[in-house]
Amino acid sequence: MNKSILRSAIVAFFAAIICASSFFRIPIPGIASGIVIQNALCVMTAVLLGGIWGAAPTALFFAVGVIGLPVFSGGQGGFQVLMNINGGFRIGWVIGALVAGMISGRPSVTEKHITVKSIIRLTLAVLVGMLVLYLPEVFYVIGFKSAELGVLGAVKLFVAAFFAPFLAVDFVKAVVVILISLKFRPVVAMYLYEPVENE
């Protein structure tokens, strides 16, 4: 099978998994979004596929959600989900996936031999990707709350309500994503990228 066709099918498959995970949410009193796994799946698929291809499943998931399908956490969909205080997270998922994919780079079958270098690179890709996905939300919170709280007050609200409560959970998610990536990137490389000369 042509590897570019297979890559496209895998992108669609990963996007479908991210979409399906919208139904998994652990409610937390006082936090509307609760705990979701979509952010971790966006970063995981990015690191598994690597590079631009890594961001493709998240970009597809985002596009499908914005046009109206209820694929965002809590079964939400449509352009209006970008117009509330949590809208920055949806944009952040795409940016975080792109950053994680670019840092991790294209997978290779040589990665079946785990090295310190590969562990550092994938750890950096996952952690930076998980952090970057919060950045747009900072601006959303400032935009929605700065008139009421001032810019500094809005930033404090972001840290207290949107960032700090999820640090421990996101760290656990990041560790799981790193372990999965170390195990499966060589497999992805074997089926989707190598040998390049036969494409």
Hey, what CATH topology would domain 3-194 get? Arp2/3 complex 21 kDa subunit ARPC3 (1.10.1760)
Residues 19-38 pLDDT 10s: 998 888 777 665 656 678 89
pLDDT bracket for residue 3 (50, 70, 90): confident
Question: What would the mean pLDDT of 64-87 be, rounded to a whole number?
Answer: 89
Question: What would the mean pLDDT of 144-172 be, rounded to a whole number?
Answer: 91
| Angle between helix 116-132 and 38-49 (nearest 10) | 140
Q: Where are the domains of the chain?
A: 3-194
C-alpha 45/C-alpha 57 separation (Å) is: 7
Is the pLDDT score of 52 beyond 60? yes
Q: pLDDT > 70: what percent of the chain?
A: 93
pTM: 0.89
Paired tokens of 148: 């009421």
| Angle between helix 51-66 and 87-104 (nearest 10) | 160
Is the pLDDT score of 87 beyond 60? yes
* Strand 31-36 versus strand 25-28 pairing type: antiparallel
Q: pLDDT > 90: what percent of the chain?
A: 69
58 near 42, Cβ under 8 Å?
A: yes
Residue 32: what pLDDT? 57
pLDDT bracket for residue 198 (50, 70, 90): very low
Query: How high does pLDDT run on average in the chain?
Result: 90
C-alpha 143/C-alpha 134 separation (Å) is: 15
pLDDT bracket for residue 54 (50, 70, 90): very high
Lowest average pLDDT, out of 28-32, 114-118, 143-147, goes to 28-32
